[in-house]
């Protein structure tokens, strides 16, 4: 009795299935394909041409082309010249004079007048040598030398900051380029998912809503790709401008990485920064120069002793026709100046106090920079490890979700969620890798390792290499 009933039920079910109309195809709008964004390059490739450049090469080009580096070099060269100017006061000075003279004589007598005239060339030569001035001139030399060193360290600071800025932007461009790849992969994946839902719907195994959702996912992925391409191009423009190149330059970035010697001894890193940072060295030399300025101001009212010598021809009308010469010692002493020297001392002391405070500020800034770079570096290393695991898990999650959906044991919503999770993980991985390289460059700058401070006698002005 049970078997006939079962057969009847199956027959009814088959009849219902045969009578069911196929799912209606949803009215979706095709997603237009997109083109890669780019800028037309400049007429001349310029400094780097079209070859791939590394982060270090980009920094080196920037050091040659950036105008602010040239300005700092010129300032350092001028400060070095001031040293020579101060030293010259310690050595003899000689002055030669030559003039042509006319002498007219008038005599009045008996209501009449007579005149005579004489003319001739009068020449002379004089020399002066400083003997003693309580080392006021020597203090001026010391001040100039300290100022020149400070200018050299300022140049080094400008160079180090530029190197870090270029590398920071370089790795930002690398990250944005990786994000373009991530969203290109998402577009391909969502397109494949759309094709799958359409095929299942045509086979009577899917539902219209899956096709609609897949189309929406493809549209969103395409929009994200366009935005990623825009962000990448704009960041590349910023990098070219920062280097000093034509912003239209089609830069091609080579694989780059910063040295991975990551020390975990924060105190040693801080000590390195306090020893090597050009900002600290510049502040120290500025304070030293300010101390010499105070000494100079205090010696303004002290006398100076000079050795003088001169020779010359007799003047026109002189009773003697013999050449003359003199050798002597002169004393110059301004013993009263209505408070001018006292004001100069007060000004110099105030500047020295400001220089001392600036050294304290720079010291605190270096400690802060190193500490911040230390934390950023440790966090970036952890982010890279976590991001790698997240990408691996998300990739496997998407594979399983697509397999389950093909087998008909899950809904398309699970595939959508898995795809979104993978894109988020890949984006985070690109950001983590960029952050790690940037943090290492930041640490190198913080401890003064990114640029060796040049010696004052190594500073030479350069001509701009771009027009």
Q: Give ∠ CA 453-294-456 in degrees, rounded to 5.
A: 20
Mean confidence (pLDDT) of the chain:
86
β-strand pairing of 324-332 with 112-132: unpaired
Whether pLDDT at 448 is above 50? yes
Max mean pLDDT among 47-56, 107-116, 173-182, 200-209 falls in 173-182
% of the chain residues with pLDDT over 90? 66
SS3 for 397-410 is HHHHHHHHHHHCCC
Which candidate, 31, 298, 20, places its Cα nearest to that of 140? 298
Write down the pTM of the prediction.
0.82
Q: Are 347 and 157 in contact (CB under 8 A)?
A: no
Q: Which helix (H) or strand (E) holds 90?
A: none
What confidence category does residue 8 fall into, taking pLDDT thresholds of 50, 70 and 90? Answer: very low
What confidence category does residue 18 fall into, taking pLDDT thresholds of 50, 70 and 90? Answer: very low
Structure tokens at 346: 């007060």
- Which bin fits 85, alpha (ψ -120 to 50), beta or left (φ > 0)? alpha
Whether pLDDT at 455 is above 50? no
What confidence category does residue 21 fall into, taking pLDDT thresholds of 50, 70 and 90? Answer: low
Phi, then psi, of 307 in degrees rounded to 5: -95, 130
Q: What is the pLDDT of residue 265?
A: 93
The domain locations on the chain are: 33-39+48-94+133-301+337-452
Which candidate, 68, 292, 288, places its Cα nearest to that of 159? 68
What confidence category does residue 422 fall into, taking pLDDT thresholds of 50, 70 and 90? Answer: very high
Q: H helices then E strands: how many in the chain? A: 9, 4
Q: What is the pLDDT of residue 361?
A: 97
Residues in the chain: 467
Structure tokens at 425: 């993980």
Task: Give per-residue pLDDT as tens, 161-187.
Answer: 999 999 999 999 999 999 999 999 999
What confidence category does residue 410 fall into, taking pLDDT thresholds of 50, 70 and 90? Answer: confident
Task: Give per-residue pLDDT as tens, 216-268.
Answer: 999 999 999 999 999 999 999 999 999 998 888 888 999 999 998 778 899 99
Q: What is the pLDDT of residue 268?
A: 95
Q: What is the pLDDT of residue 17?
A: 41
CATH topology of domain 33-39+48-94+133-301+337-452: Outer membrane efflux proteins (OEP) (1.20.1600)
């Amino acid at each position: 009795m049970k078997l006939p009933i079962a057969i009847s039920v199956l027959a009814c079910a088959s009849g219902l299935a045969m009578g069911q109309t196929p799912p209606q195809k949803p009215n979706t709008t095709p997603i237009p394909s997109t083109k890669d964004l780019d800028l037309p390059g400049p007429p001349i490739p310029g400094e780097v041409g079209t070859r791939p450049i590394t982060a270090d090469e980009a920094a080196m080009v920037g050091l040659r082309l950036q105008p602010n580096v040239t300005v700092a070099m010129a300032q350092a060269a001028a400060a070095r010249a001031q040293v020579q100017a101060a030293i010259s006061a310690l050595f003899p000075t000689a002055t030669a004079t030559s003039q042509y003279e006319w002498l007219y004589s008038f005599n009045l007598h008996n209501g009449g007048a007579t005149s005579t005239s004489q003319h001739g060339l009068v020449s002379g030569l004089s020399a002066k040598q400083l003997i003693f001035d309580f080392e006021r001139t020597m203090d001026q030399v010391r001040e100039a030398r300290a100022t020149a060193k400070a200018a050299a360290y300022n140049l080094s600071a400008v160079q180090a900051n530029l190197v870090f800025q270029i590398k920071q932007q370089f790795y930002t461009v690398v990250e944005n380029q990786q994000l373009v790849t991530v969203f290109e992969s998402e577009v391909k994946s969502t397109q494949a998912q759309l094709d799958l839902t359409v095929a299942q719907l045509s086979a009577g195994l899917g539902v219209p809503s899956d096709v609609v959702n897949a189309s929406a996912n493809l549209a969103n992925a395409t929009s994200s790709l366009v935005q990623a391409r825009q962000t990448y191009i704009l960041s590349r423009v910023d990098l070219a401008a920062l280097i000093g190149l034509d912003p239209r330059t089609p830069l091609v970035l080579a694989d780059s990485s910063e040295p991975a010697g990551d020390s975990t001894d924060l105190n040693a890193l801080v000590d390195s920064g306090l020893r090597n940072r050009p900002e600290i060295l510049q502040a120290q030399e500025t304070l030293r120069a300010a101390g010499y300025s105070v000494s100079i101001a205090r010696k303004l009212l002290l006398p100076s002793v000079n050795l003088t010598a001169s020779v010359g021809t007799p003047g026109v009308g002189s009773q003697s026709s013999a050449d003359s010469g003199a050798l002597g010692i002169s004393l110059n002493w301004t013993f009263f100046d209505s408070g001018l020297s006292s004001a100069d001392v007060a000004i110099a002391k105030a500047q020295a106090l400001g220089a001392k405070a600036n050294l304290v500020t720079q010291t605190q800034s270096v400690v802060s920079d190193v500490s911040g770079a230390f934390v950023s570096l440790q966090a970036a290393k952890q982010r890279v490890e976590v991001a790698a695991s997240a990408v691996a898990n998300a990739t496997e999650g998407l594979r399983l979700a697509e397999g389950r959906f093909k087998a008909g044991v899950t809904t398309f919503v699970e595939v959508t969620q898995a795809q979104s999770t993978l894109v988020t993980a890949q984006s985070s991985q690109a950001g983590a890798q960029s952050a790690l390289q940037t943090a290492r460059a930041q640490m190198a700058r913080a401890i003064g390792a990114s640029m060796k401070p040049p010696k004052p006698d190594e500073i030479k002005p350069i001509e701009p290499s771009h027009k």
